[in-house]
Structure 1
Amino acid sequence: MITRRTALMGAAFVAASPAVVTRALASDETMDTSGAAAVDLSSLPRRKVELVPPPFVHEHEQVASTGPSIVEFEMEIIEREMEVDDDGGYLQGMTFNGSIPGPLMVVHEGDYVELTLKNPASNLMPHNIDFHAATGALGGGALTLVNPGEMTVLRFKATRPGTFVYHCAPGGPMIPWHVVSGMAGTIMILPRDGLKTDTGAPIKYDRVWYIGEAEFYIPRDENGDFKRYADVGESYPETEELMNGLIPTHVVFNGRKGALTGDNALTAKVGERVLIVHSQANRDTRPHLIGGHGDYVWESGKFNNPPERDLETWFIRGGSAGAALYSFLQPGLYAYVNHNLIEAVNLGATAHVLVEGDWDNDLMEQVTAPVEYSS
């Protein structure tokens, strides 16, 4: 019996290419590892972590107090329509745990990440997960392809400290479509003894902000209004055509224009040291904190490398995540932007930071307030 889901999946995949239909629906991109030697991890403790929505991060130790453990996570794939602006823009989103970006996972080097990935029967599409932090099997993508109504469990060893992207990669043209529809997130693997400055001194943070930058491609109708679709399958053909033009309609932080502004602005206090984790799974970006700096910046996100210091703007390569540490010195409103200012101001890649504290005139002083002037 051909169900509506089967028909829609088939339509989307046929629109991509016959080869993709065969690979994705027949799971040809999976691999058989049943002949590998068994690994005995029974002596390791297990710890289950409840993930939280961005821009927040689940509780974690900055310096590991015990030896390696198996850290258990669970994520459900949720396909749903999402409002991305106040101008009628709606995305047929594909998400990890319902958020764009997917949740930030934090473990320590030497830990084992064990993820239970669930694809509910109510979804239309097959999905998987590719961890840039993992080794082999397309980052786990070849071992995690799940059709609607299926689940899988993947475990990998966290061998390299740093911030790394994860994303859905079900094969062929489905890969970019799933990524720009929201299916990307970040994992942070901390050194067991914590972060270090460029001179090797220990350094800690007071809080973490997790910024997931994404670009969307939402087609418009003949009147210039954004189009809406019944489901992800219906949205594919016109979305793919727009994607191939490489001109996004939105460039946003955390899934929506204004998601981190106004009442949703990030907050801090003067003297607090904040670690900003910034990921972009598809395009290059240039984060900049207006009125602040990057005290220590792991531009490539890899903690085995010493951080750069005192950066005004840093570069995050597409398909990677970086980290920047800053101690706020002045109160007031800050803007954290993609310093392609067209994308920041016009397309949405802006967040606000509201900092409490006392103003320091030694750092900046308004010597003369604006007064009338005539030449």
Structure 2
Amino acid sequence: MLTRREALLGSVLAAAAVATVGSAPVMAAAKDVAGLPREKVTLVSPPFVHAHDQVAKGGPRIVEFTMKIEEKPMVIDADGTQLNAMTYNGTIPGPLMVVHEGDYLELTLINPDTNTLGHNIDMHAATGGLGGGELTLVSPGEQATLRFKATRPGTFIYHCAPGGAMIPWHVVSGMSGAVMVLPRDGLKDDAGKPVHYDRIYYLGESDFYIPRDEQGKFKKYDSAGDNYDDTVKVMRGLIPTHVVFNGKAGSLTGENAMKAKVGETVLIVHSQANRDTRPHLIGGHGDFVWEQGKFANPPAKDLETWFIRGGSAGAALYTFRQPGIYAYVNHNLIEAVELGATAHFTVDGKWDDDLMTQVEAPKAIAS
């Protein structure tokens, strides 16, 4: 007898088969782009981003990426709590993919036969039914290749969307990432002048919903599908057990803190596939912030905290002016401190007393 999960997956696969019948126009488009140069890019794990030009060199090209889906247990806090994760390329979030406006992004999505579930990818940067979701739904042991034209500059999320209750379950199990489509002539400030970044980091914020046993301890499961019923019950309460950056509480602190130097300009790309969030850099600012993530719009200036809508990605540019450890948090401070949404930047350089100085050290108050 089919489980509810298997029945859901079967209906999604059937729908996808119907949706892709008569897909000749997709194949016909190959003629139009056959003469374009191709660039094969090897993805890297967040918070790092693959090498790319900030200003495009030459005309449009086809940029090729390959991502493998991995279902695997991942520890998400210092207490050893386990998430039965579903991932793109083995990381939460999946890697950031960078192209330029007018380029074609070509992604090969691989679902190894060692997995147990069907998966796909909904690209918010793409134009077409379900963001390519119906063209990329792959069962274990299958792969598919999707190509789309990057027509809108900005930062966009991607996520798994296999249908029904499977969509939120796969997303809060780790299956999201982001695409950045740069303007061909690079980023501009609010006055239209070019801006450049020395470093780029990508943070994916995730909300997890881990079931508990009768004693209140977080439960563990053998495979990706075994936790479905229990997790859905927790999800429906809309109260996450963990809110973290890059898959784990503390994943970007200590030795793993993001690095910079005084005088360097850093671009921070931040995505959240499911819930609203409020990034804040303690001790710094957003010099220029594309809060909605769309580079065709002028950035806001000098923000203390910005807003990333659930289901979107944004970008903030900041030039560090003082050395030290900067906490980058979700400024729902309960989620930052209690649930895990805190990262660190470690910045090297010389202190500037003109910007901040201790005039008098703490001392006892005279009676």
Contact 2:16 2:135 survives alignment (8 Å): no
* Deviation, structure 1 residue 35: 3.3
- Partner in structure 2 of residue 286 of structure 1: 278
Structure 1: which amino acid aligns with 2:240? P
- Partner in structure 1 of residue 11 of structure 2: 23
- Partner in structure 1 of residue 127 of structure 2: 135
| Whole-angstrom CA distance in 2 between matches of 1:204 and 1:82 | 36
User: Deviations 1:37-67 (Å, cap 9, x if unpaired)?
Assistant: 7132121000000000000000000000111
User: Deviations 1:98-148 (Å, cap 9, x if unpaired)?
Assistant: 000000000000000000000000101000000000011210001110000
- Partner in structure 2 of residue 346 of structure 1: 338
> TM-score w.r.t. structure 1 length?
0.95
Contact 1:205 1:273 survives alignment (8 Å): yes
| Secondary structure at 2:309 match in 1 | coil
- Partner in structure 2 of residue 63 of structure 1: 55
> Percentage identity across aligned positions?
67
Give yes or no for the alignment of 1:265 onto 2:253: no
| Secondary structure at 2:337 match in 1 | helix
| Whole-angstrom CA distance in 1 between matches of 2:39 and 2:4 | 39
Residues 295-314 of structure 1: matches in 2 within 5 Å? 295-314=287-306
* Deviation, structure 1 residue 77: 0.3
* Deviation, structure 1 residue 33: 4.3
Give yes or no for the alignment of 1:122 onto 2:114: yes
| Whole-angstrom CA distance in 2 between matches of 1:259 and 1:252 | 8
| Secondary structure at 2:146 match in 1 | strand
| Secondary structure at 1:38 match in 2 | helix
Give yes or no for the alignment of 1:172 onto 2:164: yes
Give yes or no for the alignment of 1:214 onto 2:206: yes
Contact 2:285 2:303 survives alignment (8 Å): yes
Structure 1: unaligned runs, 5 residues or longer: 1-6
| Secondary structure at 1:74 match in 2 | strand
| Whole-angstrom CA distance in 1 between matches of 2:113 and 2:3 | 18
User: Deviations 1:310-358 (Å, cap 9, x if unpaired)?
Assistant: 0000000000000000000000011000000000000000001110011
Give yes or no for the alignment of 1:49 onto 2:41: yes
Residues 62-211 of structure 1: matches in 2 within 5 Å? 62-211=54-203
**Structure 1 outlier segments of 4+, above 6 Å:** none
Residue of structure 1 aligned with 2:21, choices 11, 32, 36: 32
Structure 2: which amino acid aligns with 1:178? H
| Secondary structure at 1:234 match in 2 | coil
| Whole-angstrom CA distance in 2 between matches of 1:69 and 1:226 | 48
Structure 2: unaligned runs, 5 residues or longer: none
Number of residues of Structure 1 aligned to a counterpart in Structure 2: 363
* Deviation, structure 1 residue 192: 0.2
| Whole-angstrom CA distance in 2 between matches of 1:121 and 1:282 | 28
CA RMSD of aligned residues (A): 1.3
| Secondary structure at 1:239 match in 2 | helix
Contact 2:279 2:328 survives alignment (8 Å): yes
Structure 1: which amino acid aligns with 2:28? A
* Deviation, structure 1 residue 87: 1.4
| Whole-angstrom CA distance in 1 between matches of 2:279 and 2:170 | 24
| Secondary structure at 1:240 match in 2 | helix
Greater Cα offset, 163-172 or 29-38: 29-38
